[in-house]
Amino acid sequence: MQSRKERNYESGSGNKRKRGRWENRTSSIKKKRRGMGHSSTVRSDRCVTCTTFNILAPIYKRISEESCRESQYRAYWLTRNKSIIDRLLGDRSSIICLQEVWLGNDELVNMYEKQLGDAGYVSFKLARTNNRGDGLLTAVHRDYFRILNHRELLFNDFGDRVAQLLDVESVVPFWHGQNSSIRQQLLIVNTHLLFPHDSTLCIVRLQQVYKILQYIETYQKEHNLEPMPVILCGDWNGSKRGHVYKFLRSQGFISSYDTVHQYTDSDADAHKWISHRNHRGNICGVDFIWLLNPNKQRKPLRTSWNEAVFGIIKYLLRAASLTETSAFAFLKVDSPGDYITYSGFCQALYQLGLSGHPDGLSSEDTKVLWVQADTDGNGVVDYVEFLRIWNPKCSEQPEEKTVSGTKGSPITGGETQQQQQAFGFDVKDAVLFPPEVERGMWPENYSLSDHAPLTVVFSPVKMPCGGPVC
């Protein structure tokens, strides 16, 4: 006979009512996804949906105020994960990216793989290194995409984090009856970044994202891929105010949820929505589905990396209550003149916790940063050069190259060969569950996870190519 506590747990108190309200909101998503019956030349109404969800591994979920974990109670984790699968199958997204899947438990893994497989999904799983117990699972529906390639990224760093890359192609062409050579192919990445337990881990998290973007660039070059959209999904363990967010924005990625709801990158819009209540009780928005279209002008990856690291240096110095002048004095260390030396720069990075440990900046990283700081190449950084780092004038968000009248429109027979066209996406809708999190509140009776699932609707479009590989 079940205890009252166990019966309440299995009933998912409050979730059924919330699901009803949420389904009213998402009915439009399902209609958009099903809208494939029009016999028009351009089938841009064949929308693609993508869901990202950190499902909270039972080995991490605490039971009430007790010290025990959910993994000790099979009835608990089995019921909760069945509810999660029911939701995923009900939503029937084209792409599903899950984090914190308890890959150390065969029963749970088999349940996900079987039920997703029976529903038409091809799934791939990847455990974190060093037998952490959890990992990633990415599932793609056969009705929408065929898998061309699958890669595993092992960071082998402090957090034992990993990432998955899937190269997929649309099963049914989005456009018919056109003499067009546009290949409807995209890259999907699923990841779960390190939690920022302290400020010294900022550089580790930034390195994880850099490795992902670097791998994407390398993969595209090695396989001679045409320009295509890239979708990054996952638990980024950082908010819109963080360095990872700014780094991705500087590379041309857009946050799908913020785009739909017309939220800006300003601090005023940083906390309009949340997706996670962490183990400290803090609420924040950390789950993102990022989109990079091939019509984006992007900085060189290393340039964005350098700017992001300088941003971390500035953040740490400001956190120590150093003004612009005192920060320059700190970086000078014991310099005999009014300038920063290379040795002093290295010493400052060490004191800030950014170097001197296995997961910190390497000596090569430090040299590259120094070359960018020492703009005149005379071997020292004076106050004017320091100010260029402290107050960068360049915009963090590159401008998008667009051609009037081409967004979301079919290619006509009169197009010139010089204007290279590419396949991309418009973001049509984005929904978080439960609905309270979209207003910045975390409901106490939500029990599926300590994260909110995010579902985004993408509409395929043709666009002029403006990326660096065009």
Q: 103 Cβ partners below 8 Å, 6+ apart? A: 109, 125, 127, 133, 134, 135, 137
* CA–CA separation, 298 and 85 (whole Å): 38
CATH code of 308-390, in short, is: 1.10.238.10
* CA–CA separation, 452 and 207 (whole Å): 26
What pLDDT is stored for residue 65 in this prediction? 64
Alpha helices, DSSP H, located in 119-237: 202-222
Domain boundaries, the chain: 48-295+422-464, 308-390
Burial class (CB in 10 A: 0-12, 13-18, 19+), 221: exposed
CATH code of 48-295+422-464, in short, is: 3.60.10.10
Nearest residue to 52 (alpha-carbon basis) of 95, 106, 114, 11:
95
Residue 49 near residue 455 (C-beta atoms within 8 A)? yes
Residue 430 near residue 257 (C-beta atoms within 8 A)? yes
What are 314's two structure tokens?
Answer: 């500035």
pTM for the model: 0.86
Residue 428 near residue 459 (C-beta atoms within 8 A)? yes
What pLDDT is stored for residue 2 in this prediction? 42
Q: Mark the ranges of the chain whose per-residue pLDDT is less than 70.
A: 1-45, 65-66, 175-183, 393-419, 466-470
Question: How many Å is the Cα radius of gyration of the chain?
Answer: 24
- Which neighbouring-strand residues pair with 95? 50, 140
Alpha-carbon separation of residue 333 from 226, 235, 349 (angstroms): 49, 39, 11
Other C-beta atoms closer than 10 Å to the C-beta of 452 total 28
Q: Which long-range contacts (CB under 8 A, 24 or more apart) does 151-154 make?
A: 151/215, 151/219, 152/126, 153/191, 153/211, 153/212, 153/215, 154/129
Distance between start and end Cα atoms, the chain: 65
Instruction: Identify the helix (H) or strand (E) that includes residue 231.
Output: strand 230-235
What pLDDT is stored for residue 21 in this prediction? 47
Q: What is residue 252's DSSP assignment?
A: T
What pLDDT is stored for residue 41 in this prediction? 26
What pLDDT is stored for residue 469 in this prediction? 45
